[in-house]
Amino acid sequence: MIAQPKLLGAEHMRVRGTVQGVGFRPTVWRIASELGVTGSVINDAQGVLIIAVASPEAIDTLARRIHAEVPALARIESFERQAVALPVPLPGAFVIEASRPTATAAMTTAVTTAVAADAATCADCVAEIFDPFSRRFRYPLTNCTHCGPRLSFVTGVPYDRARTTMAGFAMCTACQSEYDNPADRRFHAQPIACHVCGPRLSLQRMDERVFTLDSFTFLDDCDAAGTLLARGHIVAIKGLGGYQLACDATQADAVDRLRALKRRERKPFALMAASVDDIRAWCGVSEAEALLLQSPAAPIVLLDKLLMGSKLGTKTAIAAGVAPGLRSLGFMLPNTGVHHLILRRMKRPIVLTSGNLSDEPQATTLQALKQRFPVGIDYVLDHNRPIARRVDDSVQRVVAGAPQVLRRARGLAPEPIRLPAGFEAAPPVLAYGGELKNTFCLLRQGQATLGPHIGDLEDAATHADWRRALLDLQAFFDFTPSVHACDAHPEYLSSKFAREQSPQTVDVLHHHAHIAACLVDNGWPLQAGPVVGVALDGLGYGAGGELWGGEFAIASYTRFERRGTFKPVALLGGEQAMREPWRNTYAHLMAEMKWAAFDMNYGELPLHAFLAAQPRALLDGMLSRGVNSPLASSCGRLFDAVAAAMGVCREHAAYEGQGAVELEALVDAEVLQYEDEELGYPFAIPRLPASVSPERLAYIEPLAMWSALLGDLVLHTPVPTMAARFHKGLASVICKMVDKVAQAYDPNQPLKHVALSGGVFQNRVLLERVSQLLRAAGYTVLTHHRVPCNDGGLSLGQAAVAAARVLQPQLQESAPCA
């Protein structure tokens, strides 16, 4: 039998996703060349287009192997294949073509390719930096297609060197030949650079006085910076997405000076150490945590401090001022060669915090840094590769073996999040996020792209920066929204800006957005019916202008029926109640027992003396007349009230939720785990009177908790025991309320899924305990993974709710507000 000659076929393969600047084309080239496939691969505004000519079998193999061998930083969102006529003449080889804005006239011009997130220096590049025989020995900005700057240095699409902040650096012949060689790790690595042709570091004094390294025995600027840090100086370092301030983490004086300089009283600082092994001297690091630290995003990972006396003996202690009152430390590994070189010299961890004053955006130019810090920074380790956009450090942690994101920025944004089934036909939505920890979200073609963490919009500079970033990313993605979604709060700056952009915004209740974000995060399909949504946080705008912050609802993307809440208690002094936690204690105690009863039963407590010294007549007047003391069902403020009662963060909170964070750190784990639910402080679940709530909403009543807590104070019970009893009792009553809501949906077929969201669930003790109790009761628990449970995740939830309302308009009417 005579073998038939193999028939040739031709296909166009359209690949979308994170496929530019991540070594995708060389991978395709390599596989195609191995298979004898001819044709081409090209970057365009849509992503990557492959033209493949070969036998149908070889083309199938090519498609299969591309999926199997996708490079580390690449992510394929869609892969479409289309048979086409054989090109004339037939290509003689497989080639990588130069990028062009649009591949063919027939395709739409919308820019849909995703730009990759920045990635920490890969192991191969680190090895070169420390290899004396490599031509990049000690070159601090070494990178390749698997690592280096992306979002922080891209200025346009398609992704090409001319549209990055490396445009001004002409490659030397050695770099050019690496860049042109498809078999090289640096093939088309746009940030490629070396000692000869790349950006250069310079170590300067911030006061601009002349400073030379000549009299020192340093190798180079990074080494000198490391030595200066070790001597106790504060050094600004230009990172991937902004300038950061560093000091030796083991020197208390330096840490205190840095705090004073940043006007950051108590909020914890992040640390950077050279390796996971180094970190293990101060913190417990599980396998999952080690993987997270070493991931290309190289985020700050929150880790439990080792208890005194374990491994600490041989190592210098981290200064207490790094994370006052906390049981955890936030550590990250180096993400650029600069960090690697400095830490190699330091041999101990550094504090590395963004170059800004408390809540302002971090500086991305030396000029801005000098403006913000005219004095106080000793040296700056600068370089001349500009930063295209600000990208802060990401924060993650591991809960029950799974990573969670608390701040989504460097290394994570703008990686797209695929929306669950049912959202494929969603219109383009722009969601503006909340007021604090703002992110915004672009939703299109079934996927959501969140911009990097921006911060608190109340700060004028951050607000201006946010507007710029919002317009920048829209222009960058050639994105025109047809739907504008924002928080229902009329005074949020993000909502106001949304209303300036569009007369018809989709206003989403704060806590509905939290639950929707959690649903997307768990791939909950659009049609999949409701869950019990538990949204616990500081404050959010509820239906009818009420202030909510501890809500239990029957919830889906199109529905948010509130069925339970925390007891509404006055925010004594409005905003002031957040800054002075004792105000919440006072409001709670007056709501529960009035002064006479408190005075009679607890007169000998220091808490009594403290409250008695406050202007009580004024406060009582405000409470009785409801002046500047709106009612709020806030779980966050309950935490403040309880912590302050125990003497934890009583007079003044340096950051939102400080009381809760420090109370959690104090929890006595043995008391918490002890198998006796009675140990937990008791709460009741009565119904609100018809005068307050016509539907007589069920609420969590803390009177019994307060009696038990005050009794413990009388008995001088240790604070860690009381903190454990509070967490235990609260977790227990949350689960009881979930049962009520699940039953309320349908007593014969109660809801089986519970979504936990809102900033209160940053509290790991509470999150783990509630999850554990709910699972034991047979529920499936949905928690956050890729987007924060705090307000950093709101924009994703807003976008999903707005899209769902367009896709399922008939369900909208059946979604009562409260």
- Tell me which residue has tokens 């012949």: 173
Q: Does 196 bind Zn ion (CB under 5 A)?
A: yes
Nearest approach, Cβ of 665 to Zn ion (angstroms)?
Answer: 38
Q: How far apart are CA 422 and CA 442, in angstroms?
A: 17
Which listed residue (15, 52, 70, 122) binds Zn ion by CB under 5 A? 122
Nearest approach, Cβ of 344 to Zn ion (angstroms)?
Answer: 17
Nearest approach, Cβ of 382 to Zn ion (angstroms)?
Answer: 20
Nearest approach, Cβ of 141 to Zn ion (angstroms)?
Answer: 11
Strand partners, 83: 11
Residues within window 624-683 making contact with Zn ion, judged by CB under 5 A = none
Which one, 135 or 652, has the nearer CB to Zn ion? Answer: 135
Nearest approach, Cβ of 179 to Zn ion (angstroms)?
Answer: 9
Q: Is 508 helix (H, G, I), strand (E, B) or coil?
A: strand
Residues within window 253-292 making contact with Zn ion, judged by CB under 5 A = none
Checking 733-736 for CB contacts under 8 A at 24+ apart, the result is 733/683, 733/685, 733/700, 734/534, 734/536, 734/700, 734/770, 735/770, 735/773, 735/774, 735/777, 736/685
Backbone angles phi, psi at 690, to 5 degrees: -60, -25
Which one, 90 or 127, has the nearer CB to Zn ion? Answer: 127
Q: Does 760 bind Zn ion (CB under 5 A)?
A: no
Among the listed ranges 74-82, 167-175, 401-409, 604-612, the one in contact with Zn ion (CB under 5 A) is 167-175
Question: What are the structure tokens assigned to 160, written together?
Answer: 């090409």
Q: Does 298 bind Zn ion (CB under 5 A)?
A: no
Written as one string, the DSSP assignment of 715-760 is TT--HHHHHHHHHHHHHHHHHHHHHHHHHHH-TTS---EEEEESGG
User: What stretches of 347-423 show up as alpha helix (H) in DSSP?
Assistant: 366-372
Nearest approach, Cβ of 18 to Zn ion (angstroms)?
Answer: 17
Name residues whose C-beta falls within 8 Å of residue 142's C-beta, 6 or more positions apart in sequence. Answer: 121, 125, 128, 129, 136, 193, 194, 337
Nearest approach, Cβ of 387 to Zn ion (angstroms)?
Answer: 19
Binding marks (x or -) toward Zn ion, 67..106, rule CB under 5 A? ----------------------------------------
Q: Does 742 bind Zn ion (CB under 5 A)?
A: no
Nearest approach, Cβ of 440 to Zn ion (angstroms)?
Answer: 30
Q: Does 357 bind Zn ion (CB under 5 A)?
A: no
Q: Does 126 bind Zn ion (CB under 5 A)?
A: no
What distance, in Å, lies between the first and last C-alpha atoms of the chain? 78
Asked whether the CA dihedral 679, 685, 686, 692 is positive or negative, the reply is positive
Nearest approach, Cβ of 188 to Zn ion (angstroms)?
Answer: 13
Nearest approach, Cβ of 187 to Zn ion (angstroms)?
Answer: 12
Binding marks (x or -) toward Zn ion, 171..190, rule CB under 5 A? -x--x---------------
Asked whether the CA dihedral 800, 802, 803, 806 is positive or negative, the reply is positive
DSSP label at residue 543: G
Shortest CA distance to 570 belongs to which of 556, 584, 552, 581? 584
Nearest approach, Cβ of 186 to Zn ion (angstroms)?
Answer: 8
Q: How far apart are CA 632 and CA 810, in angstroms?
A: 32
Q: Does 297 bind Zn ion (CB under 5 A)?
A: no
Q: Does 773 bind Zn ion (CB under 5 A)?
A: no
Query: What is the arrangement of strands in the sheet containing 505-508, beginning at the earlier edge strand?
Result: 417-418, 447-450, 441-444, 429-431, 483-487, 505-508
Asked whether the CA dihedral 803, 784, 758, 559 is positive or negative, the reply is positive
Q: Does 488 bind Zn ion (CB under 5 A)?
A: no
Nearest approach, Cβ of 777 to Zn ion (angstroms)?
Answer: 48
Q: Residue 286: how many CB atoms within 10 A of its CB?
A: 12
Q: How far apart are CA 477 and CA 20, in angstroms?
A: 14
- Asked if 258 contacts 352 with a C-beta cutoff of 8 angstroms, the reply is no
Nearest approach, Cβ of 521 to Zn ion (angstroms)?
Answer: 30
Q: Does 110 bind Zn ion (CB under 5 A)?
A: no
Which listed residue (49, 70, 151, 194) binds Zn ion by CB under 5 A? 194
Nearest approach, Cβ of 366 to Zn ion (angstroms)?
Answer: 24
Among the listed ranges 165-173, 385-393, 623-631, 747-755, the one in contact with Zn ion (CB under 5 A) is 165-173
Among the listed ranges 73-81, 141-149, 280-288, 502-510, the one in contact with Zn ion (CB under 5 A) is 141-149
Among the listed ranges 170-178, 389-397, 654-662, 807-815, the one in contact with Zn ion (CB under 5 A) is 170-178
Q: Does 144 bind Zn ion (CB under 5 A)?
A: yes
- Asked if 582 contacts 606 with a C-beta cutoff of 8 angstroms, the reply is no
Which one, 296 or 759, has the nearer CB to Zn ion? Answer: 296
Which one, 296 or 581, has the nearer CB to Zn ion? Answer: 296
Among the listed ranges 121-129, 233-241, 405-413, 744-752, the one in contact with Zn ion (CB under 5 A) is 121-129
Among the listed ranges 32-40, 192-200, 408-416, 529-537, the one in contact with Zn ion (CB under 5 A) is 192-200
Q: Does 22 bind Zn ion (CB under 5 A)?
A: no
Q: Does 605 bind Zn ion (CB under 5 A)?
A: no
Name residues whose C-beta falls within 8 Å of residue 685's C-beta, 6 or more positions apart in sequence. Answer: 564, 698, 699, 700, 701, 733, 736, 737, 740
Shortest CA distance to 191 belongs to which of 224, 249, 230, 151? 151
Which listed residue (8, 110, 167, 197) binds Zn ion by CB under 5 A? 197
Among the listed ranges 63-71, 164-172, 705-713, 801-809, the one in contact with Zn ion (CB under 5 A) is 164-172
Q: Does 116 bind Zn ion (CB under 5 A)?
A: no
DSSP label at residue 570: E
Nearest approach, Cβ of 71 to Zn ion (angstroms)?
Answer: 11
Q: Does 240 bind Zn ion (CB under 5 A)?
A: no
- Tell me which residue has tokens 């047979």: 778
Which one, 185 or 344, has the nearer CB to Zn ion? Answer: 185
Among the listed ranges 147-155, 388-396, 438-446, 543-551, the one in contact with Zn ion (CB under 5 A) is 147-155
Q: Does 120 bind Zn ion (CB under 5 A)?
A: no
- Alpha carbon of residue 95 to chain centroid: 40
Which one, 173 or 314, has the nearer CB to Zn ion? Answer: 173
Which one, 197 or 811, has the nearer CB to Zn ion? Answer: 197
Name residues whose C-beta falls within 8 Å of residue 237's C-beta, 6 or more positions apart in sequence. Answer: 225, 243, 244, 245, 246, 338, 339, 342, 352, 380, 381
Question: What are the structure tokens assigned to 372, written together?
Answer: 């913000």
| Residue 213: exposure state from Cβ atoms within 10 A (0-12, 13-18, ≥19) | middle
Q: How far apart are CA 288 and CA 374, in angstroms?
A: 42
Q: Does 147 bind Zn ion (CB under 5 A)?
A: yes
Q: Does 125 bind Zn ion (CB under 5 A)?
A: yes
- Asked if 411 contacts 119 with a C-beta cutoff of 8 angstroms, the reply is yes
Q: Does 377 bind Zn ion (CB under 5 A)?
A: no
Which one, 175 or 539, has the nearer CB to Zn ion? Answer: 175
Question: What are the structure tokens assigned to 815, written together?
Answer: 């979604």
Give the residues lining the site for Zn ion (CB under 5 A). 122, 125, 144, 146-147, 172, 175, 194, 196-197
